[in-house]
Structure 1
């Protein structure tokens, strides 16, 4: 039963279901958490005059023992919470078992063309926020948690409407801005993957916040080590690995970041069969957010140009990651990530059955082999004019009796085709 009470009457054990204002105007990630300390009550007093408690979820008159929810404001990486991470991971994995069919939670609400303009604004704001966060960490200042939550919430809204817009903008990569833009791209990838996994709006906000902040510890590692073109020495690699515990420590000392969100930073270099760092956990102990973080962090790293390697194509990266399933990543989740990205990910340069060349600009979430393709070159490899986008689902341009389909994926730069020239970028 819900009950409206003044904040002065709050005490540990009560479950706050609603605030007297929008959650985005407070340090709390979202409404709905159990009070576990006097400090939380003091924080509520600073922002609210009254709240609504749910006596079915928490105590009314006297505190009673209750398991802290995985999305609780004060969720911690304790043994009990670790158990919840495992249960949550198992539940998500079970949803994608061959015998378990379910309707997806989300349907596209906008087209790519409708969403791309708003997505561009979101990326611009998020990019600025990431640079501010990185600079604050580098100088030892507090992270602007509310600002980070705001840009993540905007990204969640865009991904729920149509994830392809932000995924198109994810193709814009600059080697000299890798660390900052990597955090932005990992956030986009995590949210698109989380949407595919049917995570709730609240869970997407938690996942996105953790993904955006997962690499803050790198601000404490010298740039000459991060950008070293050659192989790191054992001492240098030890220093590089320190970015994980350093980042976790920074986030744990930052007010308003739940531990389940910090799991992305805590576990994104752990590996399914072991052998990762910095804790050395494996299997389901990595948890859902840690596993998602590990998958999307790896994908962006191996598809990006760095000082020490050239990024591989998205298609090749997904094939490589598939071969690593069971060793580096939870098998079902890496398979679902490939499903999420599409057999032909956005930005892929492809050759069609006619010999024409195009760039994939939008995936088909029901028919993975039938994306939308921006036509670039005719079969004789002359420029395709006028510009045209073909939806392979409807086989436009195939001709009588001919089925237009993708014959193969071409390597990056084939025929001089630069994908970012052809994907929608919002004008």
Structure 2
């Protein structure tokens, strides 16, 4: 018998291992690393998205109970192998996003003020490390309790400088991924500080180069790449001795296939915290409006990361990042099948296609006088019985919507 077989949905059986679909995994709510069919409901769910799938007959559980946990255990073991000697543990949401929102706002207000006051263009850059450590703590606590509020506010907040905005965003994404990985609070602190500072060396780069509204020339690219070494120098001058934080700065542009810079490191030669930083750095850059590039939607950015899985980025870390932030992270502008336009406010990390949203435009694309919250896990159909789902992401600013003006 062939190890992998193309099987039409009606011919699937409980116990089979689905290794591939007839469409991209990201367009479905299923585990992106494959899964066992456990019940007839799983087959029915596959039928909603696929006409056929690929079944790997060589992957067989030794018992029915094992079928339910084998793939989750396999991913967990792969993640644990990235952090030998560390005790990883799962975080659980301690409250809804609306409960966390005021605490997250206070945390990001403090962090944004700190970023703006510390990351200034000046000749001699020395960072106030104790102030930075104190400023990241409330954000870490907020993300630990429920990341959706910080993810929402991080997308809503628009600082007046891309460097400031990028530093804030990277710190949030790094901590969100660290939480998903189950890293202890001490490591979340390292990720927060590293995410905030790994691009600090750009303060030493000529502003005309940083703000160039075009792709850099071959001669200019090495000048920009010097920000890596400059970041490490600034950190050391500022008293940073945490090796994880220094490695995030030194190696966040390395890539697992060896095509990064400045050292062309590959695979496990790249420190794992730097591999985390690389994902956060790329994702935040992709969803941000830059002088030389239009912002992508979060869904488009996630697809870029997914397509680079195993090439630029560590596969297990990409998969965990997708689980952490979802296909439609908080702050994403989306169009519903009803014709309404909404903003995602909370991601169901187990069902990434059906988050909670705030509807801001009706089916005629007219602004609502009163915003309404929909939980797409609970509300699956419109009033007239038609399926209610997300059709896709919209570009920031679509239909004249100013995300930063939305208040809850």
Q: TM-score band, normalised by the shorter chain?
A: 0.7 to 0.9
* Residue of structure 2 in register with 1:311 after alignment: 295
Question: Is it true that 1:261 corresponds to 2:261 in the alignment?
Answer: no
Q: 1:286 aligns with which of 233, 249, 270?
A: 270
- Pairing 1:138-153 to 2, within 5 Å after superposition: 138-140=122-124, 142-153=126-137
Q: 1:188 aligns with which of 172, 193, 204?
A: 172
Residues 127-155 of structure 1: CA distance to partner in whole angstroms, max 9, x if unpaired?
A: 222233323x8342532111111112221
Question: Is it true that 1:275 corresponds to 2:259 in the alignment?
Answer: yes
Q: 1:110 aligns with which of 95, 106, 110?
A: 95
Question: Is it true that 1:157 corresponds to 2:141 in the alignment?
Answer: yes
- State the alpha-carbon separation in 2 of the partners of residues 141 and 344 from structure 1: 37
TM-score (norm 1): 0.71
- Pairing 1:15-30 to 2, within 5 Å after superposition: none
Task: Quote the offset at 1:397 in angstroms.
Answer: 6.8
Question: Is it true that 1:217 corresponds to 2:201 in the alignment?
Answer: yes
- Pairing 1:58-97 to 2, within 5 Å after superposition: 93-95=78-80
Taking a change above 3 Å as real, the CA distance of residues 131 and 221 of structure 1, as seen in their structure-2 partners, is same
Taking a change above 3 Å as real, the CA distance of residues 330 and 104 of structure 1, as seen in their structure-2 partners, is same
Name the SS of the counterpart of 1:171 in structure 2. Answer: helix
Question: Is it true that 1:130 corresponds to 2:115 in the alignment?
Answer: yes
Question: Is it true that 1:364 corresponds to 2:348 in the alignment?
Answer: yes
CA contact (8 A) 2:356 2:374 kept: yes
* Residue of structure 2 in register with 1:336 after alignment: 320
Taking a change above 3 Å as real, the CA distance of residues 181 and 306 of structure 1, as seen in their structure-2 partners, is same
- State the alpha-carbon separation in 1 of the partners of residues 182 and 346 from structure 2: 20
Bigger drift between 159-168 and 126-135 goes to 126-135
CA contact (8 A) 1:395 1:403 kept: no
* Residue of structure 1 in register with 2:150 after alignment: 166
CA contact (8 A) 2:333 2:343 kept: yes
CA contact (8 A) 1:303 1:312 kept: yes
Task: Quote the offset at 1:352 in angstroms.
Answer: 2.0
Task: Quote the offset at 1:254 in angstroms.
Answer: 3.1
Residues 264-287 of structure 1: CA distance to partner in whole angstroms, max 9, x if unpaired?
A: 111111111012112221112112
Taking a change above 3 Å as real, the CA distance of residues 414 and 255 of structure 1, as seen in their structure-2 partners, is closer
Task: Quote the offset at 1:189 in angstroms.
Answer: 0.8
For structure 2, the residue ranges without an aligned partner over 5 or more in a row are: 1-74
* Residue of structure 2 in register with 1:245 after alignment: 229
Name the SS of the counterpart of 1:235 in structure 2. Answer: coil
Cα RMSD after superposing both structures: 2.6
CA contact (8 A) 1:175 1:305 kept: no
- State the alpha-carbon separation in 1 of the partners of residues 181 and 76 from structure 2: 11
CA contact (8 A) 2:88 2:183 kept: no
Taking a change above 3 Å as real, the CA distance of residues 423 and 360 of structure 1, as seen in their structure-2 partners, is farther
CA contact (8 A) 2:125 2:234 kept: no
Taking a change above 3 Å as real, the CA distance of residues 316 and 282 of structure 1, as seen in their structure-2 partners, is same
